[in-house]
């Protein structure tokens, strides 16, 4: 029995060291108040987005949860108001799988809100299939919808400057590739879904890079962030046979949403990082993404192709 207990103790000790040094990640230390500031966060009704919204609400920001599901969005509003003591938390309907919904959200927001200080493009999806717009659903939700949303709100961000755009990307971009011939095509199957997800996360980083170039000389800055491996509902689309194994692995080795939100909060609130506009942040610090995410020519072409896809260019 003693050797078993000793072995268990050693394993537990190693896990604790691993958790606090590698898994948990650093905490955002910025004490910035956001009183008088307005934040829009997509997918703020659950997981990573909800914890990001809660942190910003505690900083006294006016926080708008831009979510697809009204019931879950309004429930999240209730939770965040109660936990933060901030009643300036609101739900607004946004379905990134529909470009019409993105336009309707932007129209409603611009009509009702006089300023926008922080836009956090957080929502993400891994589900397969297509919608009425005819694009790869993963690529549309993770990139195209956010691309259009950012464009439609950009003037308000400029008018409210200094302001920021935070784009939640992923280390999965390392497996991504931008093939302009197949970029928008729907895919089927778990492996194809994963590849589409990686491609969309690469697109997120390239979007931030090109957006920063186009915003040079303004007081609007943007940042792409990797939140770490986070245990959220993003993987609810996994095949049933994979879920039991994934639940165990994610419980042991993934961050919880509060820890995963720290880099998004950092890029939204930390003073003095404006010089890093367009860069990629991991664990509350700037890092170089993989080479394909630093290709300015591809970033520029992706911008132009995205404009055509969402109807901003002929």
Residues noted as catalytic: 197
Sign of CA dihedral 98, 100, 103, 109: negative
Cα gap 168→120, rounded to integer Å: 8
167, 223 Cβ separation under 8 angstroms: yes
Residue 272 CB burial class (10 angstroms; 0-12, 13-18, ≥19): exposed
102, 149 Cβ separation under 8 angstroms: yes
Cα gap 253→243, rounded to integer Å: 15
Neighbouring CB atoms inside 10 A of 55's CB total: 22
Cα gap 173→226, rounded to integer Å: 10
């Amino acid at each position: 029995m003693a050797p078993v207990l000793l072995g268990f103790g050693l394993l537990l000790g190693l896990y604790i060291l691993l958790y606090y040094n590698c898994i948990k990640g650093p905490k955002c230390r910025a004490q910035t108040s956001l009183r008088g500031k307005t934040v829009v966060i997509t997918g703020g009704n659950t997981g990573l987005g909800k914890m990001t919204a809660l942190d910003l609400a505690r900083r006294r920001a006016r926080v708008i949860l831009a979510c697809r599901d009204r019931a879950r969005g309004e429930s999240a509003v209730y939770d965040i108001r109660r936990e933060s003591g901030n009643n300036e938390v609101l739900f607004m309907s946004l379905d990134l799988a529909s470009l019409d919904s993105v336009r309707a959200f932007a129209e409603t927001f611009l009509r009702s809100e006089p300023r926008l200080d922080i836009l956090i493009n957080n929502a993400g999806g891994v589900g397969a299939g297509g919608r009425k717009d005819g694009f790869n659903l993963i690529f549309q939700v993770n990139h195209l919808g956010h691309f259009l949303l950012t464009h439609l709100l950009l003037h308000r961000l400029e008018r409210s400057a200094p302001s920021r755009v935070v784009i939640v990307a992923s280390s999965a971009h390392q497996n991504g590739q931008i093939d302009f011939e197949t970029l928008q095509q729907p895919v089927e199957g778990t492996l194809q879904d994963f590849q589409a997800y990686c491609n969309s996360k690469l697109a997120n980083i390239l979007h931030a890079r090109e957006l920063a170039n186009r915003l040079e000389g303004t007081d609007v800055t943007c940042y792409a962030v990797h939140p770490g491996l986070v245990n959220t509902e993003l993987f609810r689309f996994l095949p049933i046979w994979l879920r039991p194994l994934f639940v165990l692995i994610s419980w042991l080795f993934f961050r919880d949403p509060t820890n995963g939100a720290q880099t998004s909060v950092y890029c939204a609130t930390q003073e003095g990082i404006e010089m890093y506009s367009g860069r990629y942040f991991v664990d509350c610090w700037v890092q170089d993404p993989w080479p394909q995410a630093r290709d300015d020519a591809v970033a520029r072409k992706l911008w132009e192709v995205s404009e055509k896809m969402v109807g901003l260019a002929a």
